[in-house]
Structures are given as structure tokens and as C-alpha cells.
Structure 1
């Protein structure tokens, strides 16, 4: 039984090698882009920003209000503890 390589002409093999080389180069470029620290930081920032701002740029109050409330509550708790201890 003949393999694919046995039946292929030298020109076909060269073309196949070039296609494989191009796919490999694209894969390496994609991996480099994904692992670039600046790109990772940008993606993380966009992810956090999307939690607080919708696609139109309007604030998402359903997310912002609980966070602000939590911060205010935490600061209030710290002030009460400091007053009780001090």
C-alpha cells in the first residue's frame, strides 16, 4: 500500500511543506501575541472595565452600587473599630 508521500510529486511535497511552515508561523505569532505581558494586561483591564461599563460606555449601576456600598461599609467598619480601640 502506497503512502501519501510516495504518491506525491516533489512539487506537491514542497507546496505541502510551505503550507505547513506558514501555519506554524501563524501559530507561533499567535502564541507570542497571547503571551505578551502588555497584551495580557490590556485584556485584563478590558475585562475589569467591562464589569463596570457597558459596550456603549454607560456605567453599569447594578455592578457599581454594590462595590461602592461595600467600600463605604468597610471604611465605616474601620472607623468604628478605630474609635472603639482608640
Structure 2
């Protein structure tokens, strides 16, 4: 497997231009990596993924709400909330 690389410049001016171009590309790469790992970007990515998962669960492929799934989720939240309130009231 041989990789074809562009010919390296042979003049000092050509070498300086190649170094400047590589430095510029490296700078852009570092900026892109820093952007990808920033907390704000990670949070945005995770939020979008959560929205997509919710949409997959809560809607049909045609875009209609799956009422039975939403009702089940509301029922679970109500039961857990009710248990929490019941335990709090029994302690006092």
C-alpha cells in the first residue's frame, strides 16, 4: 500500500509556505477538537440525542403521538411521586 504524497518544495520560500500552511491546518484542527470537547457542545449533543430518543418512543413513524406510552410514563411518575409523598408524610 503506497501513499502518494505531494512533492516537497525545494526552495526556502516554498518550505516556509508549506510550514505556514501546515501550521494553519493544525490550528484549525485544534480549534475543531476544542469545540467538540467543550462542555456546552457536549451538553447540546446529549440534549439533541435525548430529544431524538424521546421522539422515537413517544411518536409513531408517521409522527402521531403514542398516547398509551405517554399514559404509562405519566402513571409511573404519579406512582413514584405518590410513594415519595407517602414516605415523607409518614416520617412526620
Query: Under TM normalisation by the shorter chain, which class is it?
Result: 0.5 to 0.7
- TM (norm. structure 1) is 0.59
Aligned with 2:10 (options 5, 8, 13)? 8
Instruction: Please list the CA deviations of residues 39-80 of structure 1 after superposition, one character each: whole Å capped at 9, or x if unmatched.
Output: 1001100111112337xxxx9424965465256257558979
Could you say which structure has the higher helix fraction?
1
Instruction: Identify unmatched segments of 5+ residues in structure 1.
Output: none
Instruction: Identify unmatched segments of 5+ residues in structure 2.
Output: 1-6, 87-92
- TM (norm. structure 2) is 0.56
RMSD: 3.3
Query: How many aligned residue pairs are there?
Result: 73
Q: How does 1:3-42 map to 2 (within 5 A)?
A: 8-42=10-44
Range moving further from structure 2, 71-80 or 43-52: 71-80
Instruction: Please list the CA deviations of residues 11-34 of structure 1 after superposition, one character each: whole Å capped at 9, or x if unmatched.
Output: 110111011101110111011101
Query: Once superposed, which parts of structure 1, at least 4 consecutive aligned residues long, lie more than 3 Å away?
Result: 62-68, 73-80
Q: How far apart, CA to CA, are the structure 2 residues paired with 1:34 and 1:42? A: 11
